[in-house]
Amino acid sequence: MEIPSPPSGVRFIDDYLVYLLARAAHQVSSEFHEQLRRRGISVAVWRVLSALLGSEGETVTGLAETCLLQQPTMTKLLDRMTRSGLVARSPDQRDRRVVRIALTGTGRALAEDLAVAAKAHEAELLARHPPAEAEAIKNLLRAILARHDRPRRG
Amino acid sequence: MEIPSPPSGVRFIDDYLVYLLARAAHQVSSEFHEQLRRRGISVAVWRVLSALLGSEGETVTGLAETCLLQQPTMTKLLDRMTRSGLVARSPDQRDRRVVRIALTGTGRALAEDLAVAAKAHEAELLARHPPAEAEAIKNLLRAILARHDRPRRG
DNA sequence: GCAATTTATATGAAATTGCACTTATGGCTG
DNA sequence: CAGCCATAAGTGCAATTTCATATAAATTGC
């Protein structure tokens, strides 16, 4: 038998933009994250690997911002990824405060491998929508990002 | 001076749906989450409070699913929220495995208070978009959710 | 009606994250 | 150039989350 659902008539969150976005992000990524889990790769590690694809030489702070993590969290994550041979740190020439992060050979191979799977998954996702809608999704998201980007340096 | 950006030409993630969604969710919520932080309320607590607004009597597992958390995480979160007097557990009549969660008076007051702030923030967010776009956003998100909802019981 | 299976919640140890702070540079101003 | 503020990264400890598993209750199939 089924546990009778609570009177889930008008939940606040069902019409709350921030929740809809969070839920959509979660749902859409869950299938791929499941693939990662099966391979023993954490979401955080995947984020760093993918952030470095096409843009190596990122700084620790830059990676943290890209991966939506705090800087100390990124420092510790990079410690682990360095230990497991996926990335390497190197000092910046011009500014000795800065540490540049690069993929190792192993790291790049894994990143590219996962990226293929990620793109395949994305194609599947988009295929579930009518073409016009699929088209609209990324554009709308970019519009949101553009309008709500916090003031950035540069 | 500016640290010269790395050759951030074509990052993989900048055209990756899952990332765009995650980033949009993060950016859009960050301002409100900052308000929460100033009030000493964690995002997780806010999620539970808002999940219960309009739908009390949720189960632990149901709340975990709604709040995008794992069940053991929710159990412990509810432990803390119970201790701080925001929610109360009560046994389900029909199924003694089930625990129903309800807001306390304090919890409801806080939830409603925060919900007002959240809705105000949402209005601000939407005001930054042209009306047609603002209109489209939630609809599109609901379309995504509808199409990618994992098979659910019921 | 009972053993086997499934479902709901809780628990405990280990890993991760968050927060406040330190250290090391770099940039700026007088 | 000295002093001061800003920025980059790392550290330490407390809090939280995760993973695997335990416990309890309900359901299923004989």
Please give the pLDDT value at position A150: 61
Residues A150, B30: C-beta atoms closer than 8 Å = yes
Say if residue A109's pLDDT is above 90.
yes
Chain D bases closer than 7 angstroms to a protein Cβ:
7-12, 16-21, 24-28
pLDDT band for position A5 (cuts 50, 70, 90): very low
Q: Which residues of B touch A143 (CB under 8 A)?
A: 129, 133
Question: For the segment A29-62, what is each residue's pLDDT rounded down to a tens digit?
Answer: 999 999 999 999 999 999 999 999 988 889 999 9
Amino acid at A68: L
- Measured CA A35 to C1' D20 distance, in angstroms: 19
Low-confidence ranges of chain B (pLDDT < 70): 1-9, 150-154
CA angle B79/B83/B89 to nearest 5° reads 60
Structure tokens at B54: 């309009």
**pLDDT tens column, B2-32:** 444 444 468 999 999 999 999 999 999 999 9
pLDDT of A20 higher than 60:
yes
Phi, psi of B62 (to 5 degrees): -60, -45
How near does any CA of chain A get to the CA of B75, in Å?
19
Q: Per mean pLDDT, which range of A117-126, A140-149, B14-23 is the poorest?
A: A140-149
User: What contacts A91, CB < 8 A, 6 or more positions away?
Assistant: A98, A99, A100
Residue A121, token pair as written in the block: 């998954």
**Looking at residue A6, what is its pLDDT?**
47
Q: Residue A70 pLDDT more than 60? A: yes
A vs B: CB pairs below 8 A: 192
The dotted CATH code for A12-111 is 1.10.10.10
Rounded Cα distance between A116 and A121, Å, is 9
Cα(B91)–Cα(B99) distance, integer angstroms:
5
Per-residue pLDDT, A4: 44
CB A104 within 8 A of CB A86: yes
For residue A5, give every residue at least 6 positions away whose Cβ sits within 8 Å of its Cβ, in sequence order, or none. Answer: B154
To test the contact with chain B by mutation, choose from A1, A10, A19, A149 the residue with the greatest count of B C-beta atoms within 10 A, namely A19
Domain ranges of chain B: 44-148
Lowest mean pLDDT among A17-26, A145-154, B68-77, B123-132: A145-154
Which residues in chain A have their CB less than 8 angstroms from residue B122's CB? 16-18
Fold for the domain defined by B44-148: Arc Repressor Mutant, subunit A (1.10.10)
Which of B14, B28, B58, B129 has the most A C-beta neighbours within 10 Å, making it the best mutation to test the interface with A? B28
